[in-house]
Amino acid sequence: MAMSFLNLIYRPSSSPKAIFCPKPSTTGLSSNNKFSIKFPICCSNIKTNNTTTTTTTSGTKDHKLSWENELIRAFETSSPVERDDDDELFQDLVDKRCVDNIRMLIVDSVQYAKAGHPGMPLGMAEVGYFLYRHVMKYNPNNPNWFDRDRFVLSAGHGCLLQYVCLHLAGFQSIQLEDLRRLCKLGSRTPGHPENVLTDGIEVTTGPLGQGVANAVGLALAEAHLAARFNKPDAVVVDHRTYCIMGDGCAMEGISHEAASLAAHWKLNKLTLIYDDNKNTIDGHTTLAFSEDISSRFKALGWNTITVDNIHEDLGEFKRALLSASNETEKPTFIQVKTLIGKLSVKEGTSDAHHGTFKEDDVNRMRQKIKWEDREPFHIVPMVYREMQIHTEQGERREQDWYSTLNYYRNKYPQEAMEFEILLNGGLVSGWESSLPTWSNSDPVDATRGYSEKCLNHLAKVIPGLIGGSADLASSNKAYLHGYKDFSQPDSPWGRNIRYGVREHGMAAISNGIALHGSGLIPFAATFLIFSDYMKNSIRLAALSHAGVIFIMTHDSIGLGEDGPTHQPVEQLAGLRAVPRLLVFRPADGNETAGAYRVAVANRDVPSLIALSRQKVNSNLSGTSAGAVEKGGYILSDNSGEDLPEIILISTGSELCLCEGSADTLRKEGRKVRVVSLVCWRLFDRQPMEYKEFVLPRSVVKRVSVEAGSPHGWREYVGWDGVVLGVEDFGASGAYLDTFKKFGFTEENVTKISRSLLDR
């Protein structure tokens, strides 16, 4: 019987004393434990129905004086101080000059690197600046502060805009030298954003549309945790998610899948900002795109707003964000009409998408904004200070949050304990012991059935386990019983996610949940054949160190009657080729539990568990949950101290065929070893001595048996061995008949082995 979560957390090894929470900086710590909800936009004098926020230092006379010469130079105006401009007008001028500086840093970076994608950053400079200067809640001195706002750049080719904003905002991960090293080998400013390289980058994007789905996952995580932990007098989860998408993201189907779910889930703290510049690489969007994208999002159920003139009127964008922050039921889609390559002679054309600028074009851009006599990478000193005003507010907000957390610990100790376990990775001491074990007397089941038992045992002790299936929960057996469905407003605390028939969106949303950094451990389930729909997201999970658990059932031609359209053949080979991804194909209940043990423990790599539809023994003699962590091990061997004559190697439901064949051969006096190669990547990582112990090089007579593509097996079988696999598509028929047609029977494995032994 699985122990409960509370039984585990109240063990001595899991006492509150052991809980780690990152320490904030000690400056300005508030002694007030009461929490007040702050309006997320920090612009001067922006008002909501019941909240006003002000920027306390930007309107002072000293601050205006520091900007005086720069504003006179830029706008050929009289002194804003002598004119006694009101604070809002003064801030508008400052904002415009900061945007000018951002644009020139973008131009300088591309020119210096002789590479990059400047078009989108130049066109969206106002949006990037405004978000980092006036809107988002963050602390550059603690980039991983839990309650920060999340920002995702789905149009990842425009990463230079985010790099510049991160630098100006004070993130140590982007120094001025990093802007000079755009796209260079080993730099922290790669050609598309990578979360594992650069603090301040939440997710790794690149393939268009992925970031939209990632942002939905981040917003779902916030909504789920807020429902579970917030109290009327202590709000510990309260942040927003912002995402910039482009025309390419709008065209990719994954964005539609994710947007549909975001509206269905009522993720009102999600704001999607659409860079509507009407250009892609090949030319104007009218080449292939003529729909009304705003109407599409409105039909999906989004709050939609159009900003027509952001280059001249930042206030229009400000008002759009206000509308988003006031929305209580719908996510918000803001269509921002921009000019790609703003300032350049390429402005408004697809030529601006990527590449450098001619020297005379750069000179004209400098003249337009009064930048002629400045060296490349010049930054007006007051721009740093302008951004610092906002980041200081972020520091104070973080301090307030820690004060609230202290109050929360004292008043709600049980909830606080669970919350902090999540913030520290989500695993409690001894969680592994919750996994079920099986004996020979247990009834036979498919490995998908053993998986269901593992998931539900784990859910009782791992508070962050959350996930769902692409409309196949009853087939995948991937449902947490007794934990309700995530649904707003009914049960946002639910830990089952209903994705509908949206495999690609499901995978990328799961990546967002995993990268939320809150200890949530997402699982995503479907048939193995549909992993093809998810492949790009699975690859990005590996690239971005997102510890998603992908549950793939109906893992072979053993599926039977559904026929070759639903029978995976080449999928395992392709997935095993993905760097870092751990692919498991367990043979029984023991190996299934072992696969989950490794998958849950490894929080910085994704895992994929391929499971059978057909029934197999719950406890195949010789299998070991603990041995799964080595990837491959000896299941049985009658060779004693001698080397075997032949080695049979297999995975999944075919392992029992090898064991049955081995029994027959042993009765004939043969020395036979059977090896379970449940996870190739883990086996490949073992020391050479161990690999030699399991698969001694001197034993060249080997047979591999797997009801999938033979691709890759030759590495373990060698050129003298035999690979029994599926070299064509499957066939429709009862699974035993299908297995027989393709040679997956004990008799055929024995025949192949005898032939090899007789050579």
Average pLDDT, the chain: 91
Residue type, 101: N
**Cα separation of 47 and 51, whole Å?**
6
Is the pLDDT at 446 greater than 60? The verdict is yes
From 418, 420, 452, 503, the catalytic residue: 503
d(CA 4, CA 21): 24
Among 457, 462, 421, CA closest to 437? 457
Give the helix/strand (H/E) hosting 616.
strand 615-616
Q: In this model, does residue 219 exceed pLDDT 70?
A: yes
pLDDT tens track for 254-304: 999 999 999 999 999 999 999 999 999 999 999 999 999 999 999 999 999
Q: Cβ distance 72 to 97 under 8 Å? A: no
3-state SS class at 455:
helix
Could you tell me the two tokens for 263? 């509206």
68 tagged catalytic: no
Amino acid at position 329, single letter:
E
Backbone angles phi, psi at 323, to 5 degrees: -60, -40
% of the chain with per-residue pLDDT over 70: 91
DSSP class of 730: -
Query: Cα separation of 319 and 135, whole Å?
Result: 12
Phi first, then psi: give them for residue 477, nearest 5 degrees.
60, 40
For the whole model, what pTM was predicted? 0.92
- The whole-angstrom separation of Cα 151 and Cα 130 is 13
Plot region of 104 (φ>0 → left; ψ -120 to 50 → alpha; else → beta): alpha
* 8 A C-beta contact, residue 456 and residue 481: yes
662 closest CA partner among 674, 654, 652, 651: 674
3-state secondary structure of 435: coil
DSSP state of 133: I
Token pair, residue 622, equals 């010789």
According to DSSP, the β-strands at 150-153 and 241-245 are parallel
Measured on CA atoms in the order 166, 209, 487, 325, is the torsion positive or negative?
A: positive
Binding residues for Mg(2+): 247, 277
Residue list for the binding site: 117, 157, 206-208, 247-248, 277, 353, 448, 475, 530, 554, 562, 566, 613
Q: What is the pLDDT of residues 545-592, one digit of tens each?
A: 999 999 999 999 998 788 999 999 999 999 999 999 999 999 999 999
Strand stretches in 346-480, DSSP E: 445-446, 465-469
Distances 740 to 259, 743, 745 between C-alpha atoms, Å: 45, 5, 6
User: Which segments are annotated as binding site for substrate?
Assistant: 117, 353, 448, 475, 554, 562, 566, 613
In the chain, the domains with their CATH numbers are 86-393 (3.40.50.970), 431-610 (3.40.50.970), 627-758 (3.40.50.920)
Q: Which residues contact 359 (CB under 8 A, 6 or more apart)?
A: none
- Per residue in 511-546, pLDDT (tens digit) is 999 999 999 999 999 999 999 999 999 999 999 999
Supply 425's token pair.
């990775």
User: Which residues partner with 466 through β-bridges?
Assistant: 522
When pLDDT is averaged across residues 231-245 and rounded to a whole number, the result is 98
Question: Residues annotated as binding site for thiamine diphosphate?
Answer: 157, 206-208, 248, 277, 353, 530
179 CB contacts (<8 Å, ≥6 apart)? 105, 108, 109, 163, 164, 167, 189, 377
What's the average model confidence in pLDDT over 422-431? 95
